[in-house]
Structure 1
Amino acid sequence: MGDAQKKLQELSDEYQKLQGELSTSVEAREKLESQQQENTTVKKEFDLLADDANIYKQIGPVLLKQDKTEAVMAVNGRLEFIEKEIKRFENQIKDTQEKSEKVKMDIIQIQTQAQQAQTATAAA
């Protein structure tokens, strides 16, 4: 019975670790989705501007004039990067959920076996 208890504790610790990883990944994805929304809004604003419009980029406390095509390319590049990162985190979340579910099933299996052994011992 001691081995089953030890294995159960190990699986429980692993399950908690996976849940922590899952939480961290979900938070990171949410942050990326927020950044994606901000950059999409900026892109829409750029679409409304004339080609010769003045665009300024803040670098520290200074505003520097920037070419519209350069600014649009920078925003498009950021959006592309953010989309790739979101996909990466979604895959990571999916993998962690699958691992977590497997560990959960192992825990249930060990608990069921322990209960059956306990019932058999009590009946004997």
Structure 2
Amino acid sequence: MSATPGGDNRPENINLHREDVDAIAKDLRVSADAVATQIEKIHTSLASFGDFPWGRQLAQTHRLAHEGAVDTASSFRTNLHGFSDGLDAAVQDLEDTDQLNSAHFVAIARADRGEWKGDRHDRS
């Protein structure tokens, strides 16, 4: 599929290949999952900070920071999956539009040649 956008500094044609878009979408999902999973796996026992006041305080701070990092990674994963899904949907919309336009052009060409299939115009 290709598009011809307007504008002075834009390329004349943008060629999108479904295989390339699918590979990018898959890479986004896999990478987002890997990052989020690695952050979720990071764990330090709170006891390792020691059993005295500043150790307990540091352990609590560490726990809160880890929870924040996990939430951020989860949001990162969700956003990249959403972007990937949107990319898939956009490509599908372009393909559907290309097919519809192609069908319309074929119908127009047939009508111009008198090959229109239908009620009063059926000449076959």
- Same fold? TM cut 0.5: yes
Per-residue CA distance 1:63-117 (angstroms, 9 max, x = gap): xxxx433332222111100111122222222322222222111100122223334
Paired-residue identity, %: 4
Aligned residues: 100
User: Which residues of structure 2 form unaligned runs of 5+?
Assistant: 5-12, 51-57, 116-122
Question: Contact between 2:28 and 2:84, CA under 8 Å: does it hold in 1?
Answer: no
Higher RCO structure, 1 or 2 (CA under 8 Å, sep 6+): 1
Q: Is the strand fraction higher in 1 or 2?
A: 1
Structure ID, larger Rg = 2
> Which residue in the other structure is 2:32 paired with?
32
CA RMSD of aligned residues (A): 3.5
Gaps of 5+ in 1: 1-7, 56-66
Tell me the TM-score normalised to structure 1 length: 0.56
TM-score, normalising length: structure 2: 0.56
Letter in 1 for 2:30: E
Against the structure 1 CA distance between its residues 22 and 82, is the aligned structure 2 distance closer, same or farther, given a 3 Å change threshold? farther
Q: Which structure is higher in helix share?
A: 1
1:49-68 per-residue CA deviation (whole Å, 9 max, x = no partner) reads 3x43159xxxxxxxxxxx43
**Conserved 8 A contact 1:14-1:103:** no
